[in-house]
Amino acid sequence: MNLAVRVREALGTDVVCEAELGGGCIADVRRLTLSDGRDIVAKVGQGLALEGFMLSYLAEHSSLPVPKALFCAEDLLLMEYLPTSGQLSVKAQEDAADHLAKLHAVTAPTFGFERTTVIGGLKQPNQQEASWLDFFRDQRLMYMTETAVQTRKLPAEVALRIAKLADRLERWIDDSAKPSLIHGDMWTGNVLVNKDRISGFVDPAIYYADPEIELAFSTLFGTFGEAFFKRYEEHRPLRPGFAERKDLYNLYPLLVHVRLFGEAYVSDVSMILKRFGF
Protein backbone atom coordinates (compact mmCIF):
# COMPACT_ATOMS: atom_id res chain seq x y z
CA MET A 1 0.00 0.00 0.00
CA ASN A 2 1.23 3.48 -0.86
CA LEU A 3 -0.18 5.26 2.17
CA ALA A 4 0.43 8.79 0.88
CA VAL A 5 -1.48 8.02 -2.31
CA ARG A 6 -4.38 6.49 -0.39
CA VAL A 7 -4.59 9.50 1.93
CA ARG A 8 -4.56 11.91 -1.00
CA GLU A 9 -7.35 9.95 -2.68
CA ALA A 10 -9.40 9.78 0.53
CA LEU A 11 -8.92 13.29 1.93
CA GLY A 12 -7.70 15.35 -1.02
CA THR A 13 -4.51 16.50 0.67
CA ASP A 14 -0.86 15.42 0.76
CA VAL A 15 1.11 13.81 3.56
CA VAL A 16 4.11 15.95 4.54
CA CYS A 17 5.32 14.03 7.62
CA GLU A 18 4.87 10.49 8.94
CA ALA A 19 5.78 8.93 12.31
CA GLU A 20 5.04 5.60 13.97
CA LEU A 21 2.73 5.52 16.99
CA GLY A 22 2.81 2.87 19.71
CA GLY A 23 -0.01 0.55 20.67
CA GLY A 24 -0.67 -1.11 17.35
CA CYS A 25 -0.89 -4.79 18.33
CA ILE A 26 -3.27 -5.68 15.51
CA ALA A 27 -2.53 -2.94 12.97
CA ASP A 28 0.28 -0.57 12.02
CA VAL A 29 -0.52 2.85 13.54
CA ARG A 30 1.01 6.09 12.27
CA ARG A 31 0.66 9.81 12.88
CA LEU A 32 0.47 11.82 9.68
CA THR A 33 0.86 15.57 9.20
CA LEU A 34 -1.04 16.80 6.16
CA SER A 35 -0.32 19.70 3.84
CA ASP A 36 -3.47 21.46 5.06
CA GLY A 37 -1.99 21.57 8.59
CA ARG A 38 -3.99 18.74 10.15
CA ASP A 39 -2.53 15.88 12.13
CA ILE A 40 -4.36 12.57 11.70
CA VAL A 41 -3.88 8.93 12.67
CA ALA A 42 -3.70 6.17 10.07
CA LYS A 43 -4.22 2.50 10.91
CA VAL A 44 -3.13 -0.02 8.31
CA GLY A 45 -4.28 -3.62 8.67
CA GLN A 46 -7.40 -5.73 8.12
CA GLY A 47 -10.99 -5.44 9.34
CA LEU A 48 -10.67 -1.72 9.95
CA ALA A 49 -13.99 -0.75 8.39
CA LEU A 50 -15.67 -2.34 11.40
CA GLU A 51 -13.52 -0.32 13.80
CA GLY A 52 -14.52 2.85 11.94
CA PHE A 53 -18.17 1.83 12.21
CA MET A 54 -17.85 1.27 15.97
CA LEU A 55 -16.20 4.67 16.50
CA SER A 56 -18.96 6.34 14.49
CA TYR A 57 -21.64 4.43 16.43
CA LEU A 58 -20.22 5.67 19.73
CA ALA A 59 -20.04 9.24 18.39
CA GLU A 60 -23.64 9.09 17.20
CA HIS A 61 -25.23 7.29 20.16
CA SER A 62 -23.25 8.61 23.13
CA SER A 63 -21.15 11.52 24.39
CA LEU A 64 -18.06 9.35 24.87
CA PRO A 65 -15.03 11.17 23.46
CA VAL A 66 -13.67 9.15 20.53
CA PRO A 67 -11.59 10.13 17.51
CA LYS A 68 -13.66 11.06 14.47
CA ALA A 69 -13.39 8.50 11.70
CA LEU A 70 -12.38 10.42 8.55
CA PHE A 71 -12.14 7.48 6.14
CA CYS A 72 -12.89 3.76 6.54
CA ALA A 73 -11.88 0.83 4.38
CA GLU A 74 -11.15 -2.81 5.18
CA ASP A 75 -7.40 -2.16 5.12
CA LEU A 76 -7.19 1.51 6.13
CA LEU A 77 -8.73 3.71 8.82
CA LEU A 78 -8.01 7.43 8.98
CA MET A 79 -8.94 9.18 12.21
CA GLU A 80 -8.70 12.50 13.96
CA TYR A 81 -5.51 12.82 16.00
CA LEU A 82 -6.15 13.34 19.72
CA PRO A 83 -3.44 14.99 21.85
CA THR A 84 -1.95 13.04 24.74
CA SER A 85 0.11 14.14 27.71
CA GLY A 86 0.51 12.56 31.13
CA GLN A 87 -0.86 9.47 32.85
CA LEU A 88 -4.12 8.26 34.39
CA SER A 89 -3.93 10.55 37.42
CA VAL A 90 -6.66 10.79 40.04
CA LYS A 91 -8.30 13.64 38.11
CA ALA A 92 -8.07 11.75 34.84
CA GLN A 93 -9.66 8.67 36.42
CA GLU A 94 -12.48 10.81 37.78
CA ASP A 95 -13.00 12.26 34.31
CA ALA A 96 -13.05 8.74 32.86
CA ALA A 97 -15.68 7.74 35.44
CA ASP A 98 -17.89 10.65 34.38
CA HIS A 99 -17.63 9.63 30.73
CA LEU A 100 -18.23 5.92 31.29
CA ALA A 101 -21.17 6.48 33.61
CA LYS A 102 -22.81 8.53 30.82
CA LEU A 103 -21.99 5.84 28.28
CA HIS A 104 -23.52 3.14 30.46
CA ALA A 105 -26.72 5.18 30.74
CA VAL A 106 -27.30 4.51 27.02
CA THR A 107 -29.58 1.47 26.95
CA ALA A 108 -31.23 -0.94 24.52
CA PRO A 109 -34.03 -3.53 24.73
CA THR A 110 -31.67 -6.53 24.53
CA PHE A 111 -28.10 -7.58 25.25
CA GLY A 112 -25.74 -7.95 22.30
CA PHE A 113 -25.62 -5.81 19.18
CA GLU A 114 -27.00 -5.44 15.68
CA ARG A 115 -23.93 -7.10 14.16
CA THR A 116 -20.84 -9.08 15.04
CA THR A 117 -18.01 -6.93 16.37
CA VAL A 118 -14.36 -7.68 17.20
CA ILE A 119 -12.07 -7.51 20.21
CA GLY A 120 -8.34 -7.51 19.58
CA GLY A 121 -9.06 -8.56 16.02
CA LEU A 122 -11.04 -11.62 17.17
CA LYS A 123 -14.66 -12.19 16.21
CA GLN A 124 -17.10 -11.19 18.95
CA PRO A 125 -20.61 -12.62 18.33
CA ASN A 126 -23.54 -10.50 19.46
CA GLN A 127 -26.77 -12.38 18.85
CA GLN A 128 -29.30 -10.35 20.77
CA GLU A 129 -30.66 -11.91 23.96
CA ALA A 130 -33.13 -10.88 26.65
CA SER A 131 -31.08 -12.66 29.34
CA TRP A 132 -27.67 -11.33 30.33
CA LEU A 133 -26.81 -14.61 32.01
CA ASP A 134 -27.47 -16.54 28.78
CA PHE A 135 -25.63 -13.98 26.67
CA PHE A 136 -22.51 -13.91 28.85
CA ARG A 137 -22.40 -17.69 29.26
CA ASP A 138 -22.93 -18.60 25.59
CA GLN A 139 -21.51 -15.72 23.56
CA ARG A 140 -18.67 -14.60 25.75
CA LEU A 141 -17.44 -17.29 28.17
CA MET A 142 -18.14 -20.49 26.22
CA TYR A 143 -17.63 -19.03 22.75
CA MET A 144 -14.10 -17.83 23.55
CA THR A 145 -13.36 -21.04 25.46
CA GLU A 146 -14.36 -23.20 22.49
CA THR A 147 -12.37 -21.16 19.97
CA ALA A 148 -9.33 -21.20 22.27
CA VAL A 149 -9.51 -25.00 22.40
CA GLN A 150 -9.98 -25.25 18.63
CA THR A 151 -6.86 -23.14 18.06
CA ARG A 152 -4.92 -25.26 20.60
CA LYS A 153 -4.32 -22.30 22.89
CA LEU A 154 -6.34 -23.66 25.84
CA PRO A 155 -5.96 -27.17 27.34
CA ALA A 156 -9.11 -29.30 27.18
CA GLU A 157 -8.89 -29.88 30.94
CA VAL A 158 -9.19 -26.15 31.63
CA ALA A 159 -12.04 -25.85 29.13
CA LEU A 160 -13.92 -28.61 30.98
CA ARG A 161 -13.57 -26.68 34.24
CA ILE A 162 -14.90 -23.54 32.54
CA ALA A 163 -17.90 -25.51 31.23
CA LYS A 164 -18.68 -26.74 34.74
CA LEU A 165 -18.54 -23.18 36.01
CA ALA A 166 -20.76 -22.01 33.15
CA ASP A 167 -23.43 -24.52 34.20
CA ARG A 168 -23.57 -22.89 37.64
CA LEU A 169 -23.23 -19.19 36.78
CA GLU A 170 -26.65 -18.42 38.25
CA ARG A 171 -25.04 -18.69 41.69
CA TRP A 172 -23.30 -15.38 41.04
CA ILE A 173 -24.87 -13.71 38.00
CA ASP A 174 -28.51 -12.72 37.54
CA ASP A 175 -30.62 -10.79 35.05
CA SER A 176 -31.22 -7.67 37.12
CA ALA A 177 -29.16 -5.29 34.96
CA LYS A 178 -30.44 -3.37 31.95
CA PRO A 179 -28.51 -3.61 28.68
CA SER A 180 -26.00 -0.73 28.61
CA LEU A 181 -23.75 0.40 25.79
CA ILE A 182 -20.12 -0.37 26.63
CA HIS A 183 -16.79 0.43 24.99
CA GLY A 184 -15.85 -3.22 25.45
CA ASP A 185 -12.02 -3.11 25.55
CA MET A 186 -11.32 -0.93 28.56
CA TRP A 187 -7.61 -1.13 29.32
CA THR A 188 -4.94 1.53 29.70
CA GLY A 189 -3.72 1.42 26.12
CA ASN A 190 -7.17 2.39 24.86
CA VAL A 191 -7.59 5.39 27.19
CA LEU A 192 -5.93 8.59 25.94
CA VAL A 193 -5.10 11.19 28.58
CA ASN A 194 -4.26 14.84 28.06
CA LYS A 195 -3.39 17.00 31.09
CA ASP A 196 -5.56 15.22 33.67
CA ARG A 197 -8.47 14.85 31.26
CA ILE A 198 -9.53 12.07 28.93
CA SER A 199 -8.96 13.15 25.34
CA GLY A 200 -10.49 9.98 23.93
CA PHE A 201 -11.19 6.25 24.07
CA VAL A 202 -9.93 4.16 21.14
CA ASP A 203 -10.13 0.60 19.77
CA PRO A 204 -13.75 -0.11 20.82
CA ALA A 205 -15.38 -3.54 20.93
CA ILE A 206 -18.93 -2.33 21.45
CA TYR A 207 -22.13 -4.12 22.40
CA TYR A 208 -24.92 -3.79 24.97
CA ALA A 209 -24.06 -5.55 28.23
CA ASP A 210 -24.29 -5.50 31.98
CA PRO A 211 -21.84 -2.61 32.52
CA GLU A 212 -20.17 -4.60 35.30
CA ILE A 213 -18.24 -6.50 32.63
CA GLU A 214 -16.66 -3.22 31.48
CA LEU A 215 -15.87 -2.15 35.04
CA ALA A 216 -14.34 -5.54 35.75
CA PHE A 217 -12.10 -5.36 32.67
CA SER A 218 -10.86 -1.94 33.81
CA THR A 219 -9.40 -3.57 36.94
CA LEU A 220 -7.74 -6.55 35.21
CA PHE A 221 -4.55 -4.78 34.20
CA GLY A 222 -4.75 -1.95 36.72
CA THR A 223 -6.30 0.65 34.41
CA PHE A 224 -8.66 2.23 36.96
CA GLY A 225 -8.55 2.21 40.74
CA GLU A 226 -10.18 3.70 43.80
CA ALA A 227 -10.53 7.24 42.42
CA PHE A 228 -12.39 5.98 39.37
CA PHE A 229 -14.80 3.75 41.29
CA LYS A 230 -15.55 6.33 43.95
CA ARG A 231 -16.55 8.83 41.26
CA TYR A 232 -18.42 6.27 39.14
CA GLU A 233 -20.56 5.25 42.12
CA GLU A 234 -21.64 8.87 42.56
CA HIS A 235 -23.43 8.43 39.21
CA ARG A 236 -24.24 4.70 39.18
CA PRO A 237 -23.91 2.76 42.45
CA LEU A 238 -22.53 -0.76 42.10
CA ARG A 239 -24.75 -3.69 43.02
CA PRO A 240 -23.72 -5.82 46.01
CA GLY A 241 -21.36 -8.64 45.07
CA PHE A 242 -19.47 -6.88 42.28
CA ALA A 243 -16.11 -7.50 43.96
CA GLU A 244 -16.72 -11.24 43.52
CA ARG A 245 -18.41 -11.13 40.12
CA LYS A 246 -15.63 -9.09 38.53
CA ASP A 247 -13.33 -12.11 38.61
CA LEU A 248 -15.91 -14.15 36.71
CA TYR A 249 -16.30 -11.40 34.11
CA ASN A 250 -12.54 -11.13 33.71
CA LEU A 251 -12.41 -14.71 32.50
CA TYR A 252 -13.58 -13.33 29.15
CA PRO A 253 -10.73 -10.85 28.48
CA LEU A 254 -8.28 -13.39 29.86
CA LEU A 255 -9.55 -15.95 27.34
CA VAL A 256 -9.16 -13.31 24.64
CA HIS A 257 -5.53 -12.97 25.73
CA VAL A 258 -5.14 -16.75 25.67
CA ARG A 259 -6.35 -16.71 22.05
CA LEU A 260 -4.03 -13.85 21.11
CA PHE A 261 -0.90 -14.61 23.13
CA GLY A 262 -1.10 -18.26 24.19
CA GLU A 263 -0.37 -20.18 27.36
CA ALA A 264 1.04 -17.27 29.40
CA TYR A 265 -2.52 -16.37 30.42
CA VAL A 266 -3.84 -19.90 31.04
CA SER A 267 -2.59 -19.87 34.64
CA ASP A 268 -4.61 -16.68 35.32
CA VAL A 269 -7.74 -18.40 34.02
CA SER A 270 -7.00 -21.45 36.18
CA MET A 271 -6.55 -19.34 39.32
CA ILE A 272 -9.97 -17.76 38.92
CA LEU A 273 -11.56 -21.15 38.38
CA LYS A 274 -9.97 -22.44 41.58
CA ARG A 275 -11.22 -19.38 43.43
CA PHE A 276 -14.78 -20.38 42.53
CA GLY A 277 -14.25 -24.05 43.33
CA PHE A 278 -13.64 -25.47 39.83
Over residues 218-232, mean pLDDT: 96
Q: Both 23 and 66 in a single domain?
A: yes
Q: Summarize pLDDT for 245-257 with one digit per residue, the tens.
A: 999 999 999 999 9
Are residues 104 and 174 both part of a single domain? Answer: yes
Q: How confident is the model at residue 102 (pLDDT cuts 50, 70, 90)?
A: very high
> 185, 203, 210, 247: which one is catalytic?
185
Whether 240 is covered by a domain: the verdict is: yes
Give the pLDDT confidence score for residue 27 in this predicted structure.
76
Kindly state whether residues 74 and 107 are assigned to the same domain: no
**Is the per-residue pLDDT at 23 higher than 70?**
no
Question: Does residue 185 carry a catalytic annotation?
Answer: yes
Q: Which pLDDT band holds residue 83 (cuts at 50, 70, 90)? A: very high
Count of residues in the chain: 278
Residue 142 sits in a domain of what CATH number? 3.90.1200.10
Say if 85 falls within a structural domain.
no
* Domain that includes residue 35, residue range: 3-80
What pLDDT shows up at residue 182?
Answer: 98
- How many structural domains compose the chain? 2
Q: What is the pLDDT of residues 24-64, one digit of tens each?
A: 556 789 999 999 999 999 999 988 999 999 999 999 999 99
pLDDT in tens, 172-191: 999 999 999 999 999 999 99
Pairwise pLDDT comparison (61 vs 20), residue with the higher score: 61
110 and 49 in a common domain: no
Per-residue pLDDT, 26:
66
Q: What is the CATH number of the domain that holds 25?
A: 3.30.200.20
